[in-house]
């Protein structure tokens, strides 16, 4: 998957920008606050996902402008394609000039993997970030997954509302059966899909971590369900277990007025030699864990759709020592890379690719590495 050309208008501090990209490395550099991350964020939006910085759509439009427009020519699935994203209150999109119902429908047509310093939260923070990572990754290779996720969230909201109402209207208790059955059916699919995805991801992540860290310690990943279910079982079997657990937990749910168990409470244990990476990992080890997860995600995407995603590395390389940087660059050959940094010299060893200097959201210079 390769981006050939991108046009950006009124997106964050980028008033107007048009750029032809190299098939290999693209180094976007410049001083702080010049629009490097904004550029990466613009590219990321073509995956159909929300901003990786957690920004609301409205925040993406340049101050004072009515809407932001993004356009991209890219090569994927063996042909040249064109995508458009507009942000005007909410995001809209078109693929090959055909309007889509929502920007999320771009998922699977253009794939990218992004890593920025904010992604350290994947290890540092609680389970929410890990669930977001796994859900976003699955959406890229299984676009229909988003519908299951949305349906689960909707049923969960309804069950939670019911739990609140039961406190005043005990006769509503009997209706819990219906919501538990619906919740269990979506929950089982989510749990099974996430656990299977993690099983595929683990060997790649372990190998990359070993490469980045020089085989010093072993990375472990494990899906930890809040329910007592065996993820190796089939979806109908998991559904039965989920239902049993939901029923057993009803008393507690009614007391706390929220659903305490389910995929919305699940976690992924990330360990180094068996110890929690969050509790015991150093800053460098935690960064290597996230990089390993992201690089493994690239491999899963390639295995599933037959081509590598575009790799977006925002302000990452400068924080790695020379050996780790070399390992990563070698490991990433054959993929289109967009990397940001403050100093072009961070990549002085590159023998191909281009560097683009940004200033005030504008392209100042374009130079080739040779
Ligand atoms: N909606 C917006 N409209 C206009 N400017 C915005 C908007 N949102 C953010 N900005 C501006 O974009 C700039 C930040 O850009 P960006 O995050 O891309 O910086 P950067 O080049 O990656 O910097 P650093 O090296 O510090 O990470 C800031 O000056 C900020 O004020």
Q: Residue 98's domain is classified under what CATH number?
A: 3.40.50.300
pLDDT of residue 20: 97
Domain match, 105 and 122 both: no
Domain match, 97 and 125 both: no
Nearest CA to ligand 1 atom 7: 12
Domain match, 87 and 149 both: no
CATH of the domain at 186: 1.20.1050.90
Domain match, 175 and 89 both: no
CA of 71 from ligand 1 middle (Å) equals: 20
What is the best residue among 30, 35, 89, 361 to mutate for testing ligand 1's pocket, by most ligand atoms within 8 Å of CB?
35
Nearest CA to ligand 1 atom 13: 33
How does pLDDT run across 84-135, given as a tens digit for each residue?
999 998 899 999 999 999 999 999 999 999 998 888 999 998 899 999 999 9
* Residues of the binding site for ATP: 30-37
- Ligand 1, atom nearest to 40 Cα: 18
Place of tokens 């992924």: 268
Alpha helix segments (H runs only) across the chain: 36-44, 121-124, 127-141, 145-166, 176-213, 235-248, 250-256, 277-280, 283-305, 322-331
Domain match, 293 and 153 both: yes
pLDDT of residue 171: 83
Residues near ligand 1 with C-beta < 6 Å? 12-13, 30, 32-38, 59, 61-63, 315, 342
CA of 64 from ligand 1 middle (Å) equals: 15
Domain match, 292 and 359 both: no
- Ligand 1, atom nearest to 64 Cα: 3
Is the backbone of residue 78 left (phi > 0), alpha (psi -120 to 50) or beta? left
Domain match, 78 and 118 both: no
Nearest CA to ligand 1 atom 28: 33
Domain match, 261 and 149 both: yes
CA distance 90 to 56: 9
pLDDT of residue 334: 87
- Ligand 1, atom nearest to 41 Cα: 18
How far from 349 is each of 322, 342, 345, 356, CA to CA, in Å? 11, 16, 8, 16
Domain match, 163 and 23 both: no
What is the best residue among 12, 31, 319 to mutate for testing ligand 1's pocket, by most ligand atoms within 8 Å of CB?
12
pLDDT tens digit at each of 370 positions of the chain: 999 999 999 999 999 999 999 999 999 999 999 999 999 999 999 999 999 998 999 999 999 999 999 999 999 999 999 999 999 988 999 999 999 999 999 999 999 999 988 889 999 988 999 999 999 999 989 989 999 999 999 999 999 999 999 888 888 888 899 999 999 999 999 999 999 999 999 999 999 999 888 878 999 999 999 998 899 999 999 999 999 999 999 999 999 999 999 999 999 999 999 999 999 999 889 989 999 999 999 999 999 999 999 999 998 877 777 778 888 888 888 899 999 999 998 888 888 899 999 999 999 999 998 8
Place of tokens 């400068």: 318
Domain match, 164 and 23 both: no
- Ligand 1, atom nearest to 30 Cα: 21
Domain match, 142 and 245 both: yes
CA of 259 from ligand 1 middle (Å) equals: 39
Strands of the sheet with 2-11, listed across from one edge: 14-20, 2-11, 68-76, 79-88, 90-95, 98-99
Task: Show the domain range for 10.
Answer: 1-111+316-327+336-370
- Sorted by sequence, the CB contacts under 8 Å of residue 146 that are 6+ apart come out as 104, 107, 139
- Please state the domain count of the chain: 2
Token digits of residue 310: 């575009």
Q: What's the pTM?
A: 0.90
Domain match, 136 and 106 both: no
Instruction: Give the gyration radius of the chain's Cα atoms.
Output: 22
| Helix, strand, coil in percent for the chain, rounding step 5 | 50, 25, 30
């Amino acid at each position: 998957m390769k981006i050939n050309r991108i046009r950006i208008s009124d997106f964050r501090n980028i008033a107007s920008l048009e750029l032809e990209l190299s098939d290999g490395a693209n180094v976007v550099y410049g001083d702080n606050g010049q629009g490097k991350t904004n550029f990466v964020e613009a590219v990321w939006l073509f995956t159909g996902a929300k901003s990786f910085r957690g920004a609301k759509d409205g925040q993406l439009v340049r101050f004072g402008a009515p809407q932001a427009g993004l356009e991209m020519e890219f090569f994927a699935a063996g042909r040249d394609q064109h995508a458009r994203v507009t942000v005007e209150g909410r995001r809209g999109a078109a693929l090959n000039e055909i309007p889509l119902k929502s920007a999320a429908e771009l998922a699977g047509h253009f794939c990218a993997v992004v890593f920025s310093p904010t992604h350290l939260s994947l290890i540092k923070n609680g389970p929410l970030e890990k669930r977001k990572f796994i859900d976003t990754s699955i959406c890229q290779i299984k676009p229909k997954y988003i519908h299951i996720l949305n349906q689960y969230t909707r049923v969960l909201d309804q069950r939670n509302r019911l739990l609140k109402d039961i406190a005043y209207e005990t006769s509503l208790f009997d209706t819990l059966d219906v919501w538990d059955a619906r919740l269990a059916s979506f929950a089982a699919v989510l749990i099974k899909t996430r656990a299977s995805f993690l099983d595929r991801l683990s060997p790649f992540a372990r190998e990359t971590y070993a490469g980045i860290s020089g085989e010093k310690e072993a990375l472990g990943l494990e899906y930890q369900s809040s329910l007592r279910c065996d993820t190796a079982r089939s979806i109908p079997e998991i559904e039965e277990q989920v239902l049993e657990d939901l029923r057993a937990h009803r008393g507690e749910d009614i007391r706390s007025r929220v659903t305490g168990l389910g995929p919305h409470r699940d976690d992924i244990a990330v360990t180094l030699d068996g110890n929690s990476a969050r509790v015991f990992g150093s800053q460098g080890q935690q960064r290597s864990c996230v990089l390993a997860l992201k690089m493994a995600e690239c491999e899963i995407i390639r295995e599933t759709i037959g081509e590598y995603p575009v790799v977006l590395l925002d302000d990452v390389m400068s924080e790695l020592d020379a050996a780790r940087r070399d390992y990563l660059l070698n490991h990433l050959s054959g993929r289109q890379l967009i990397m940001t940094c403050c100093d072009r010299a961070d990549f002085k060893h590159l023998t191909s690719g281009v560097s683009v200097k940004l200033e005030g959201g504008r392209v100042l210079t374009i130079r080739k590495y040779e």
